[in-house]
Amino acid sequence: MDPPESLAVPMPALARMLITDERFASCRSTVMDANPNMAEEMAGRIVEEGLKFVAACSRNPGVGLAPSRIVDEGWHALILHTAMYAELCERLGGQFVHHHPGYDPTNYDPPILDRTRETIAALGWEADPELWGPPSDETLVSVAAKCQHAPECTIVVTPKPKPKPKAT
């Protein structure tokens, strides 16, 4: 069985070409607003990796993918541009990539990140190795999002601890 026509369309050479330059700049500004000391070049890299992640998820529903903690910041910026984000998911021809928040940013599964990078590679792109590290790696940037997210809750999430009852 052939894939739907929309899924047979190849991805552009650069993921940033999935949206207009104006929209890319707006998303990059969103990342920079959340991270005041971040360089414009780094914010652009983060948004581009977010685009790769959304494309991989949209084209591969149910595979169980997740962004790195840093790439999650780029995904947040895309999502905040709601109309553009909905159009992007529709144009990708796959499924809308919903956002399912998790509580603990240290919850991650390296095989999920490996699978995500492999899925991005299958679309013809290379995942930026510097931005796909474990969630505790804050050597590049200190991202504003203190969470780890994944579509379809692919990361096992630890519930927020309940306060202990006070002794009487």
**Domain segments of the chain: what residues?**
12-135+146-153
Q: The tokens of 39 are what?
A: 């360089």
Q: How far apart are CA 145 and CA 139, in angstroms?
A: 15
pLDDT of residue 9: 63
Q: How far apart are CA 8 and CA 50, in angstroms?
A: 22
Global pTM reads 0.79
> Tens digit of pLDDT for each residue in 101-152?
765 555 667 888 999 999 999 999 999 999 987 765 455 555 555 445 545 4
pLDDT of residue 10: 77
> Tens digit of pLDDT for each residue in 37-95?
999 999 999 999 999 999 999 999 888 898 988 999 999 999 999 999 999 999 998 78
